[in-house]
Amino acid sequence: MTSAPQTPAATPAPRHVAVADLVRGGLVESVHSGSMAVVGPGGTLLAAVGDVDAPVYPRSALKPLQAVAMVRAGLDLPADLLALASASHSGSALHLDGVRRVLELGGFTTADLRNTPDLPFGTAERAAWTAAGGVAEPLTQNCSGKHAAMLLTCRTAGWDAAGYLDPQHPLQQAIAATVADLAGEEPAHRTTDGCGAPLFSLSLHGLARAVGRIAGAADGTPEGRVAAALRTHPDLVAGEGRDVTALVRAVPGLLAKDGAEAVQVAGLRDGGALALKIADGGDRARLPVAVPGLERLGVDPDALAPFATVTVLGGGHPVGELRGRALPPLQNR
């Protein structure tokens, strides 16, 4: 009798703490736990909530780092298409046409994409696609812009594009080196993201440090080019009606990116940045928890007010709210 295959023991969960409360009718009904690192220019911690040193998967919040690696390797795209290279797009016609443009620049077609087929991410976009008879495709999956840019980077650098998702491929090796460089730490874990691309774990402190380096970079550098694309085209990084798009539009100089399982990063022109993770992967607490961190970075609370709470309804009327907890003072570390 053969024994069942054994899976590796999981790393202990981060020591998350309560970061947001949902109050209904004066009673705390639910509590979200999580962790957040807020850094100033140069990556110095300004606030540490929960466990900012434990490894987490950034998921799609890693995309700006991956885009920097591609630009360092020779990728040369206008800002709108570079934004798509960092995108978790909603799948609108604007997004899909942009992905096709990136592919055409390298002589590729949608058949060359190797990301996981999916329907459009946006609710309205998905409904329109399926109503027209559309099915799940690599093109409509929200990471297709990144994958198209990976193919074009391979063509630009003279690398074979067929195996571009292999962790040993020169492209993925270059991305791994850039992630470690920007974060100032080696990834503790490596796996495969939902789209099929290699994925690296980072601490929240390291992830915030990396985002701060991108956000505060000089114009024209690979980091600065990615930052400019994220700031000027939030509708391509996410989509109309998406909270991250609205946040970037509301705060001058901000760049922001969300990731699956309730990860959020944001950075300002001076290099201040934050990275957070909601423990249960629930998305509703993501921006309310980010707001106190952005306030610690000096962002005007009035600009952040629309994102500070989520209204709780009862019978169609407001009866409470979900709000992130205030940040504690930074303790000696």
In tens, the pLDDT along 311-321 reads: 999 999 999 99
Domain 17-324 has CATH 1.25.40: no
- Collapsing DSSP states into helix, strand and coil, what is residue 264? strand
Q: Which of these, 290, 79, 61, 80, lies nearest to 182 by C-alpha position? A: 61
Token pair for 207: 């992830």
pLDDT of residue 328: 83
Q: Let me know if 136 is exposed, middle or buried by CB neighbors in 10 A (0-12, 13-18, 19+).
A: middle
Distance from C-alpha of 329 to C-alpha of 326, rounded to nearest angstrom: 10
Q: Which of these, 233, 283, 291, 288, lies nearest to 259 by C-alpha position? A: 283
Q: What are the CA-CA distances from residue 207 to residues 45, 120, 129, 189 (Å)?
A: 12, 27, 35, 14
Distance from C-alpha of 59 to C-alpha of 263, rounded to nearest angstrom: 7
pLDDT of residue 329: 77
Calculate what percentage of the chain has a pLDDT beyond 70: 96
Q: Which of these, 331, 299, 329, 297, lies nearest to 39 by C-alpha position? A: 297
Q: For the chain, what's the residue count?
A: 333
Q: Which of 11-20, 179-188, 243-252, 292-301 has the lowest mean pLDDT?
A: 11-20
pLDDT of residue 1: 43
Q: Which residue did the predictor score with more confidence, 210 or 328?
A: 210
pLDDT of residue 2: 46
Average pLDDT, the chain: 95
Token pair for 155: 């063509």
Contact 264, 271 (CB under 8 A): no
pLDDT of residue 8: 59
Query: How many helices (DSSP H) and strands (DSSP E) are in the chain?
Result: 12, 12
Does 4 have pLDDT greater than 70? no
Q: Which of these, 50, 58, 59, lies nearest to 13 by C-alpha position? A: 50
Q: What is the pTM of this model?
A: 0.95
In tens, the pLDDT along 102-135 reads: 999 999 999 999 999 999 999 999 999 999 999 9
Mean pLDDT of 222-232: 98
In tens, the pLDDT along 253-262 reads: 999 999 999 9
Q: Which of 1-15, 137-151, 292-306 has the lowest mean pLDDT?
A: 1-15
